[in-house]
Structure 1
């Protein structure tokens, strides 16, 4: 079972590839975007978690969405060897994992993505960058609503990403979520 690790130890996968480094993820994103540099893109990073017997599994998804024209996505999974019961602790760790991955892209790759689109801005090319937070603002429905503003403030402090929460945070609440349900042995 893979343990909670440092950023450079993360590997990503999707339905067709396994063991992608962050550099390889960046390469795949650039290849995908170069196929249509006149398009509108959403670059999304989001993390979700699920408590399993004896550990808590965290899945971080990276998505480059060419609006109306498809997407390329991958995910990484790590486990903390205990069952986290605090909603706040889970939400803080989810947001932290997303921020760590987002930090890699903020240190150069995000600029390269923007530069690829820059010559085509007048034809509609644009890149929006998001960190999706798996939390909602409706107190009756979401126990996470107490901590939303704190997580939003953390993401906004990064400067290069806009935070999104439920129901708009599909990177965390839909894409990453579907991989958290499986046990670690089932997906490795």
Structure 2
């Protein structure tokens, strides 16, 4: 059984490669401590792209302070086959997001909340969001999965966001799946 510290996961961004989850968490803490009075949103979202011999999944982790920048990284997972069934791919995207969200244990979330807690009367806030690369529009092929995926996100205690508000999955992670 692998430990739950997340050290067997590998993350990267433009500045660093091969980060452990503990290193990612430290970056998030540092970012939030640099602006403890901010409106912080911790966002996790996954996107995928089918290629000729494989399917690439990218999970993005973004800590954002409204109006004052962000810090972000990705985790790349490659499935060595074309995953052509939309529901299977959407479900796998969700599972990868759930996996990363689970690394933010109650203890870790409490640590993040404690950064903004002394500043809530100055407007500081913290919330977690799960960005799902699906849309509810009538032309969107993923609309039939919206309720299921939203329920899965809510079940793990994260506020779900779908297109057009799911920018971590539909924009940030998407650019790394190509």
- Please tell me whether residue 56 in structure 1 is matched to residue 55 in structure 2: yes
Change in Cα spacing, 1:86 to 1:45, as seen in structure 2 (3 Å) is same
User: 1:25 & 1:139 partners in 2: Cα distance?
Assistant: 38
CA offsets 1:144-165 (integer angstroms, 9 cap, x no match)? 0000100001111112x10000
Gaps of 5+ in 1: 1-6, 182-188
Counting matched residue pairs gives: 173
Shift of 1:71: 0.2
Q: Which residue does 2:41 correspond to in 1?
A: 42
Deviates most, 31-40 or 104-113: 104-113
User: 2:94 & 2:163 partners in 1: Cα distance?
Assistant: 14
User: 2:78 & 2:32 partners in 1: Cα distance?
Assistant: 31
Gaps of 5+ in 2: 1-5
Q: Which residue does 1:3 correspond to in 2?
A: none
Shift of 1:137: 0.4
Q: Which residue does 1:172 correspond to in 2?
A: 169
Q: Which residue does 1:71 correspond to in 2?
A: 70
Alignment TM-score, normalising by the size of structure 1: 0.90
Q: Which residue does 1:184 correspond to in 2?
A: none
User: 1:43 & 1:121 partners in 2: Cα distance?
Assistant: 17
Q: Is the 8 A contact 2:7 2:22 kept in 1?
A: no
Q: Which residue does 2:152 correspond to in 1?
A: 154
Instruction: Give matches, 1:1-188, under 5 Å.
Output: 8-140=7-139, 142-159=140-157, 161-181=158-178
| SS state at 1:177 partner | helix
Shift of 1:109: 1.5
Shift of 1:106: 3.2
User: 1:25 & 1:154 partners in 2: Cα distance?
Assistant: 24
Deviates most, 98-107 or 83-92: 98-107
